[in-house]
Amino acid sequence: MAKKSRLGKGLGALISESSTINTKSVQESISNGNIAEIDIDKIDINPFQPRLKFEEDALNDLRASIKELGIIQPITLRKLKDNKFQLISGERRLRASKMAGLKKIPAFIREANDQEMLEFALVENIQREDLNSIEIAITYKRLMDECKLTQEKLSERTAKRRSTVANYLRLLTLSPEIQAGLRAKKITMGHARALISVEDPQEQLKVFYQAVSGELSVRKTEEIVKEINTPKFKKTKKNPYKVLDNNYKSFQSNLSEKFSAKIDLKIANSGKGKGKLVINFKSEEELQKIIEMMGK
């Protein structure tokens, strides 16, 4: 008897058939890396879960998908005492499965301590597509601080370049106001990376407000920041008078001695023979004395 054609059965049926999950006992799953069917009411959520908000519309979409197609990707659990389990990853799938009315859920069972639980949760969180740049930066920081990872180790665990990790971490040096603007998508990460190199907080905010107002592209922001960071040298005015040679210095000295007053002799650099001769006096008596001497 010929096999029935699979055509016309619908996408849901095809996916369900092609994604059948072979489940084993819990003990076999722990030892062999297989999948077990676990009662949903025996699963506690991950206390280290960094994600606090789950979009209701996305959960409803996932619930509808699970009702039609079942669980395509198993969740991951660790076994606790008294036949209880704790979620390592897959909280969205677990929540949507509860909404769909499932009593059991396929799960990988693995051994993990609290430190590993935290790391699993943070790494899974950072792989989400809907995270903003600051959320990613904060997760990287938590992985380094709480899981004792260096930037190099963090790069390996998250499959990101070390320079990428460093660029995200540097965002946390920005002022809270700019970080909030980045979270709210008022500016892009390109704008933020440019602003990092502005040391003066007031200048930094000034450029930030320009970017928020829509006046600045990333490239224009980079140009402004480069201009801010370029040292500005004050132009010194060129001395219009030349340095006196020995003959003029001798003449100036002789005049000072003759009039018992300070004499300033200035010879212009113009080469046209211009200049000035200034006789300084400190009192009217000194002036009268100079006038008398000049009259002789």
Map out the domains of the chain as residue ranges. Answer: 11-112, 174-229, 246-295
Average pLDDT score, the chain? 79
Query: What is the Cα 110 distance to its own chain's centre?
Result: 34
Contact 37, 106 (CB under 8 A): yes
C-alpha to C-alpha distances, 28 to 24, 80, 116, 144, nearest whole angstrom: 6, 16, 21, 34
What pLDDT does 240 receive?
A: 79
The helix/strand/coil state of 264 is strand
Assigned token pair, 237? 């005015």
Structure tokens that stand for 235 in this block: 């132009």
Of the two residues 33 and 152, the one the predictor is more confident about is 152
Residue 194 has a pLDDT of 93
Least reliable range by pLDDT among 108-112, 225-229, 268-272: 268-272
**Which of 54 and 290 is assigned the larger pLDDT?**
290
Crossing angle (nearest 10°) for helices 176-183 and 189-196 = 160
pTM of the full structure:
0.52
- What's the CATH class of domain 11-112? alpha beta
* Residue pLDDT, tens place only, 17-36: 333 345 555 555 544 456 88
Edge-first strand order for the sheet with 43-44 is 35-39, 104-109, 75-79, 85-89, 43-44
- Given a cut of 80, whether residue 48 has pLDDT beyond it is no
Single-letter amino acid code for the residue at 269: N
What is the structure's pLDDT at 4? 40
Q: Which residues are catalytic?
A: 91
User: Helix, strand or coil for residue 201?
Assistant: helix
pLDDT of residue 120: 75
CA distance 237 to 227: 24
pLDDT at 139: 84
Q: Are strands 75-79 and 104-109 parallel, antiparallel or unpaired?
A: parallel
Strands (E), 57-151: 75-79, 85-89, 104-109
Q: What distance in Å separates the CA atoms of residue 237 and residue 221, rounded to the nearest whole number? A: 33
Contact 44, 86 (CB under 8 A): yes
Residue 191 has pLDDT above 90, yes or no: yes
What's the confidence (pLDDT) of residue 105? 93
Quote the pLDDT of residue 50.
57
Mean pLDDT for 235-258 is 80
